[in-house]
Amino acid sequence: MGRNKLLQALTLAFVAVFGTALTIGDSAPHFSLQGSDGKTYQLSELLQEGAVVLAWYPKAFTKGCTIECKSLTEKGHLIREYNASYFMVSVDPIEDVTKFAESMAADFPLLADPDKSVAQQYGVMSPYGFSSRHNVYIGTDGKILAIDTKVNPETAAEDIAARLAELGIEKREA
């Protein structure tokens, strides 16, 4: 096998496993994922309500993810000021996601993508088999508004609220 063919094969294998990175302006891939509250969430339905924020996290019950969930639970009111829905999403099984949400007293749904198909479509799979810590912002038109790849778990809620303001997402009526 020639070097170019080998590089092509490796590139295709990488894309098949980890997905392709989305960029601003791309159409957000549709999803239908089960939430920690027992409901199923579909992007098309969520967009009728406002913008959507997907806060991808690596693994339930790990240190950074626990800190991030705590931030989003304790300071989620900052995000709820905006006309946007927000979710933490991982490739953990729904049972783990539900237990994690309950243990953190999360007042927002956590979503499970156990077959990793949505994570691959969003290009957030890490080489280690879990999702990378990325925030994906989706406008009501279904287009990617922003992607944060350097997420600080301790200030997750404040950072999401600041980004929503920066993106011009309207605040909810009081």
Residues that are catalytic: 65
Name which of 73, 40, 158 is nearest 148 in CA terms: 158
Grouping H, G, I as helix, E, B as strand and the rest as coil, residue 16 is helix
Rounded distance between C-alpha atoms, residue 84 and residue 119, angstroms: 21
Count of CB atoms within 10 A of residue 7's CB? 11
C-alpha distance from residue 9 to each of 88, 129, 136 (Å): 33, 20, 29
DSSP 14: H
**Cross-strand pairs, 137:** 53, 146
